[in-house]
Amino acid sequence: MFRSLFVSAVRQQPKLLRASMQQAAVRGFSACGPMREGIPSLNTLSEDEEMMRDVVSRFAREVVQPKVAEMDEKEIMDPQVIRGLFEAGLMGVETPVDLGGAEASFLSAILVVEELAKIDPSVSAMCDVHNTLVNTVFRSYGSDALKSKYLPQLSSEKIGSFCLSEAVSGSDAFALQTRAVLDGDHYVINGSKMWITNSEEAGIFLVFANVDPSKGYKGITCFVVEKDMGVVIAKKEKKLGIRASSTCQLSFDDVRVPVENVLGEIGKGYKIAIEILNEGRVGIAAQMVGLAQGAFDSAMPYLFERKQFGTRIGDFQAMQHQYAQIAVEIEAARLLTYNAARMKEEGKPFIKEAAMAKLYASQVAQRASAKAVEWMGGVGFTRDLPVEKFYRDCMIGAIYEGTSNIQLQTIAKILAKDYQA
């Protein structure tokens, strides 16, 4: 049902795009100045993007929300939720229609991540990694044969996992030690990976391994590895937050991968990782924006139900200033995120903007969820209400797909280059 609603919109995309451009021109009118055509606000969405957002919001409320507490408690993703993600068309957002996807915009994928995170950041994380990392790597770097073979599976039934980090290579990702040795018409992979999202449920893994350590990072190559080729889950991590999202250590012991499963060029895996993580950072920013909004939406009604000293606590000026400030910060984080997404769609450099969006959105998520717990007092501290989970979930935003310090370093390097003579 959810999938049919969105796919019908996608098939009308050219007409809808023209209509949205006309509407944008109309909305460009301002009583304070002349009409400016073709320059919509960052919050202006095409009709198919609006439909995508509405469909995902409904899916999150009706399918995901009833299972959130149980999934968090059991630390497992409900199979019905996973099946629902595929049936709703949310696991191939940008994938071409002829390969089973929706062929929607990058911002559509970002909206999916944001809307899911308002209800459960764990489900959002699964969808984000699958779409903005795994699917995008196939679309951008895969051969026609690899795309034809794997993208339909990733759109309909199999979860994807992105395997870069290792025990000795976190922020210094290119220090990885997993090896791939050519043996006839196969590469033999040996090594291990850590902190791998989606790894428990995944059927398709993008594994980064070095084919020639003497070349340093220029030996790193990306391989498509199917689970039944010998991927072993060595340990599932027990985490503070996003507990339903699996994070595991993986072992690769003499895993034989056909040479045709090299994704991209030999020795160019480092380039794939660098470029794709910029898109992934916009995805994490969207997750943190959604999380912040979810925490805010959960806490705000309580402020106008709870009374102390005969006054609703939301009417005290000190409280008004706090929730007004958080609302401003959430909106600012959202605009940073949407701006980075639109710049990516326009083919403009967006490395700095992606880093800024992820950095700030993760900071706002921490402040918003902490305030939500504080505003609700004792009940906010209990596990009966969702705000404490948002608080636990938000902490990962400053860590994965580049720590906050890495984002600051990235921003600083670009600024230094811009301002140096």
Catalytic residues: 401
Q: How far is the C-alpha of 160 from the C-alpha of 238, rounded, in Å?
A: 21
State the amino acid at position 146 in one-letter form: L
Torsion of CA 5, 7, 89, 162, to 10 degrees: -150
d(CA 202, CA 20): 37
d(CA 365, CA 296): 10
Q: Where are the alpha helices (DSSP H) in 346-403?
A: 351-381, 387-394
The span from the first CA to the last CA of the chain, in angstroms, equals 58
Task: At 116, give phi and psi (nearest 5°).
Answer: -65, -40
User: Which residues on adjacent β-strands are paired with residue 357?
Assistant: none
| Dist. CA 360–CA 356, nearest whole Å | 6
DSSP class per residue in 239-274? -SS-TTS-EEEEEEEEEEEEGGGEES-TT-HHHHHH
Helix axis angle, 121-128 to 269-303, nearest 10° = 160
- Tokens for 221? 């190559």
- Measured between alpha carbons, how far is 421 from 413 in angstroms, rounded to an integer? 14
* Residue that is written with structure tokens 């033999």 in the block: 188
Q: What tokens were used for 253?
A: 């012991």
